[in-house]
A and B are shown apart, each in its own frame.
Chain A
Amino acid sequence: MNIENTQSQMRKGVLEYCILAIIRRNEAYPGDIIDEMKNAGLQLLEGTLYPLLNRLKNAEILTYRWVESTSGPPRKYFILTEKGEKFYDLLESTWIELSTGVNVVVNGNYSKEDTVVNDNLNEPNTTEQ
């Protein structure tokens, strides 16, 4: 069993959720997304981000508009579509379900619901070392 493989698998699972969350908050271009992820301590290669965005765009979850930039070529600013919003909601509920379940399982605590909810907030950081 390769530890790196498992780690990256863990990360991958939530990647779309994170990206959509960022875009949902604010219209964003890939540079923003990378920075924000980095600030949160989540390492993300641009080579991974671009194809992902492209696929989300092709699935009509995202759309974009061109914005002129002073520092180079025009940028693609991504926005969530209506379909994307629904998609995000589903992801969100899945995530809550998952993180709750994972915490319960990991802590072996089936009764203390409140602690589980608190742990939820730290979840992204705990998967990241």
Chain B
Amino acid sequence: MKKVININFQGQVIAIEETAYELLKQYIDSLKKYFSREEGGEEIVNDIENRIAELFGNRLKLGINCITDEDVQSIISSIGRPEDFDTEYQESVYAYGETPFEQFASTSEQPKSEPDGSERRQTLYRNANDKIIAGVCSGLAHYFKIDPVWMRIVFVVLFSVLFWVYLILWIVLKPKALETNVARRLYRNPNDRFLGGVCGGIAAYFKIDTWIPRLLFAAPLFLNLMGMISIPFFPWNRFFDNVDFNWNINMSVVVIYAVLWVIIPRATTVKQKLEMMGEEEYIKSIRETVSDNVASVKSKTDDGDNYTKPYAATAAVAGDPEKVSLDAMPPEPPRFHAAKASANATAGSGNTGCLNALGILFKIIFFAFAGIFAVVTTGMMIAFLVAGTKFVPLKSLFIDQGYENTLLWLSAGLLFAVPIISIIVWIVRRSMKAKSRPVIGVVSIILWVVGIFSATMLGFKVAEKFSVESSAENVQALSAFSGDKLYVDMAVYPSDYYSFSRNFGPGSDLDNFPYYTINEDSLLFSNIKLQIVQSQDSLYYVRTISSSSERDLKIARKNAGEFTYPLQQQDSLLFLPEFFSAPISQGFRLQGMIVEIAVPLGKKIEIDERLDDYDNFTSNSSVRRKLKKSRNNKTFDWDYGEEYILENGGLNKTVILTDSI
């Protein structure tokens, strides 16, 4: 009693005894191994499978219910085992290569192809079959018998070092079409994709559900968004309360995905899908889709492309690894035409050495430029990063944490990263000669527009912070002192502070930017305008008008009132602080201050040159209104380091220097 199973073999459903199936499976596997090193080996196996399918069909037509062991045995003996045609094979190569073909080749002026002994050794080539740029990684992977994706990851990670290695290998190595020599490979899965099929491919490779890699990729973003959306009743919120949009993690996930998208090839042919999913799974899926409608599949696949023919016969191969390994490795098949490509290459280098040298020269020049470009771009990126870190403390002065911060990163990422990534993708796809995919363009344009949109939103948000202006006024009378001259000097800020100014190289004028106190609790501004007016009585007065902008008048008013500007008076000496300070929580809101010294009639004043460090303040509307309101708003012109006397409704120098001196 034997179990009979149905297999889908080359588009035919065939009832076969299980033992016969095992036999067939082993046989086809041995054929595969045998032909695996020959160019078009798969096609040969495919043809033989076709033939077997036909012989099966003939047998079943005779009215036999199923294929038995004997049937398989007789078919195998008619086709022959690899051991049987091995010796013939070697000789055929000899005969073929030496006698008829040589003659033929010489007449038809074909490059002479000779059986290349060195080919038997493992040699390093660039893989012409499976390449992203030049096939170097793929060739290396072939040499080490690993999945090219791992090699590519190594090259991407160690880009700066291996870039030159890559170039050298590109120049030195010959291209050659290599067949994959690994059973399982990581592909992008076109049948199970959300974006590029990367997750689908990873899932297929590790035999897990697709949602697992997808979740891994999406989790950082998801967690972040959870944290950012401050829904009060959302109980989890407290876990993520202070989670900001984490640029580093989220962006690196995006970059990793993009890189994987580029370096992992898409499984297009059936063979690739087979390598991606593993044979059993693939057969399962094929069985589901194909077996009900054999005819339609068959006609579809008859269009001449052998490689896309349903490879269902590999059902015969799926199975025990033990059995496979027990099989003696069939003798190495000769490669006669496999040598074609390399023979051409050698012939090329022999015949047209001059042209070849020229080509190599061009390559070297091209790559020298490419290398310089790469170095420069890397340098620029690093420079930007360094410069960017300097701006980081500034950012918080304009941008609130949370929503606005997210907008900032989102727009920066989309506006800059999207064009860069799409250019890279375009170049890569061009060099791969991949079919153009308009989807990529559309998606990147949409993302870019989203970037513009969010940047605009952010712009409005930031601009809004400067929409209303308010000011606070404070008048302080100086205590009377003997003498009739007030000397105004600067009280230098007693401790260190962080400064932004003059750190950005030439051309940047950031003097107006505030400084930080050392413990980062307040901002220091030198945004002060000093002016002199006439006092209404016999006392000196100091009036300070602080002003600030905000999106809300109340806050602006409150902010303006929070400035500290301590005056110190020692008899006739008045010290004005170097900075006025505001709490750092205010952020940068165009804080400014007018310091107005009122001088009584007939009294003198001199302002020390050190106060020249004050920046001239362009008053906001609220301040202008305040100045207008005061009855005596006439300000005088004056210079630092000069003694003035207020008399006759004007401020006059006490010492008049004439040009003659």
A residues with a Cβ closer than 8 A to B are 5, 8-9, 12-13, 15-17, 30-31, 45-48, 50-55, 57-59, 66, 68-69, 71-76, 83, 86-87, 90-91, 94
CB within 8 Å of A: which B19-54 residues = 31, 35, 38-40, 43-44, 47-48, 50-51, 53-54
Given contacts A46-B51, A54-B43, A90 and B56 within 8 Å (CB-CB): no
Nearest first, the 6 A-B pairs at minimum CB distance are A45-B80, A72-B54, A47-B80, A72-B57, A46-B79, A58-B337
Is B104 in contact with A87, judged by CB distance below 8 angstroms?
yes
A94 and B80 in contact (CB under 8 A), knowing A55-B337, A69-B54, A71-B54?
A: no
Question: Shortest Cβ distance from B223 into chain A, in angstroms?
Answer: 53
Task: Give B40-77 as 1s and 0s: 1 = Cβ < 8 Å from A's Cβ atoms.
Answer: 10011001101101111110010000000000000000
- Check: B5 CB closer than 8 A to any chain A CB: no
Q: Given A54-B44, A71-B58, A73-B11, answer yes or no on A8-B108 (Cβ-Cβ < 8 Å).
A: no
Expressed in whole angstroms, the Cα–Cα distance for A52 and B54 within the complex equals: 20
Contact of B50 among A48, A58, A73 (CB under 8 A): A73
Instruction: Say how far B63's CB is from chain A's closest CB, in angstroms.
Output: 14
User: For A54, what are the chain B residues with a Cβ–Cβ distance below 8 Å?
Assistant: 38, 40, 43-44, 47
Pick the contact of A51 from B35, B57, B95, B103 — CB < 8 Å?
Answer: B35
> Any chain A CB within 8 A of the CB of B508?
no
Most buried by B among A12, A51, A86: A51
**Are A90 and B298 in contact (CB-based, < 8 A)?**
no
Closest CB in chain A relative to B296 CB, distance in Å: 13
Q: Is B107 in contact with chain A by the CB < 8 A criterion? A: yes
- Verify B100–A47 contact, CB threshold 8 A: no
**Dominant SS among interface residues on chain B:** helix
Chain A residue with Cβ nearest B306:
A76
Contacts of B302 in A (CB 8 A): 66, 68, 74
Contacts of B40 in A (CB 8 A): 54-55, 57-58
Whether A58 and B298, one on each chain, are in contact in the complex, defined by CB atoms closer than 8 angstroms, is no
Q: Which of B84-92, B374-382, B611-619, B641-649 lines the interface with chain A?
A: B84-92
Contacts of B58 in A (CB 8 A): 71-72
Bound Cα distance from A45 to B34, whole angstroms: 15
Say whether B100 contacts A31, CB under 8 Å: no
A-side contacts of B81, CB under 8 Å: 47
Alpha-carbon separation in the docked complex, A76 to B85 (Å): 22
> Separation in Å of the A83 CB from the closest CB of chain B?
7
Pick 10 A–B contacts, CB within 8 A, sort by A: A12-B88, A31-B54, A48-B92, A50-B51, A51-B38, A58-B39, A72-B12, A73-B298, A86-B107, A87-B100
A contacts with B: majority SS: helix
In the complex, the chain B residue whose C-beta lies closest to that of A53 is B47
Give complex CA distance A47, B89 in Å. 10
For chain B, which range describes its interface: under 10, 10 to 19, 20 to 34, or 35 or more residues? 35 or more
The answer to whether A74 and B298 touch across the interface, beta carbons within 8 angstroms, is yes
Name the CB-closest residue of B to A55. Answer: B337
Does chain A have a CB within 8 A of B325? no
Tell whether, in the assembled complex, residue B104 and residue A45 are in contact, meaning their CB atoms are under 8 Å apart.
no
B602 at the interface (CB under 8 A from A): no
Q: B531 to nearest A CB, angstroms?
A: 93
By CB atoms of chain B within 10 A, which of A68, A71, A75 has the most?
A71
Residue of A nearest to B9 (CB): A73
**Contact partner of B57 among A15, A45, A48, A71, CB < 8 A?**
A71
Q: Which residues of A contact B108 (CB under 8 A)?
A: 83, 86
Q: Could you say which residues of chain B place their CB within 8 Å of the CB of A71?
A: 54, 57-58, 61
**Please, what's the 1-or-0 string for B461-489, where 1 marks a CB less than 8 Å from any CB in chain A?**
00000000000000000000000000000
- In the complex, what's the smallest C-beta–C-beta distance from A87 to chain B, in angstroms? 5
B190 proximal to A (CB < 8 A): no
Cβ contact within 8 Å between A90 and B103: yes
* A66 and B304 in contact, given A46-B78, A51-B38, A72-B56 (Cβ under 8 angstroms): yes
Cβ contacts under 8 Å, B340 to chain A: 58
Minimum Cβ distance to chain B for residue A53 (Å): 8
Q: A51-B44, A55-B337, A69-B54 are in contact. Are A9 and B31 (CB under 8 A)?
A: no
14 additional contacts (CB under 8 A) given A46-B78, A48-B88: A9-B91, A12-B88, A12-B95, A16-B96, A47-B85, A48-B80, A52-B92, A58-B40, A66-B302, A66-B304, A72-B12, A73-B11, A90-B104, A90-B107
**Which of B35, B48, B53, B337 is A46 in contact with, Cβ under 8 Å?**
B48
Q: Which residues of B lie under 8 Å from residue A91 when comparing CB positions? A: 100
Query: For A50, what are the chain B residues with a Cβ–Cβ distance below 8 Å?
Result: 44, 47-48, 51
Q: A16 vs B38: C-alpha distance in the bound complex, in angstroms?
A: 18
Q: List residues of chain B with CB within 8 A of the CB of A86.
A: 104, 107-108
A55 CB, min distance to chain B CBs, angstroms: 5
Query: In chain B, what residue has the closest Cβ to A69?
Result: B54
In the complex, what residues of A have CB within 8 A of residue B55's CB?
72
User: Is B99 an interface residue, CB under 8 A from the partner?
Assistant: yes
Which B residue's beta carbon lies closest to that of A95?
B100
Question: Does B10 sit within 8 A of A, measured CB to CB?
Answer: yes
Q: How far is the CA of A24 from the CA of B336 in the complex (A)?
A: 23
**B82 interfacial contact with A, CB 8 Å:** yes
Which residues of A sit under 8 angstroms from B304, Cβ to Cβ? Answer: 66
Which of chain B's residues have a CB closer than 8 A to the CB of A13?
A: 95, 99
Q: Which residues of A contact B85 (CB under 8 A)?
A: 45, 47-48, 51
Given contacts A12-B88, A12-B92, contact A47 B31 (CB under 8 A): yes
Nearest residue, chain B, Cβ from A46: B79
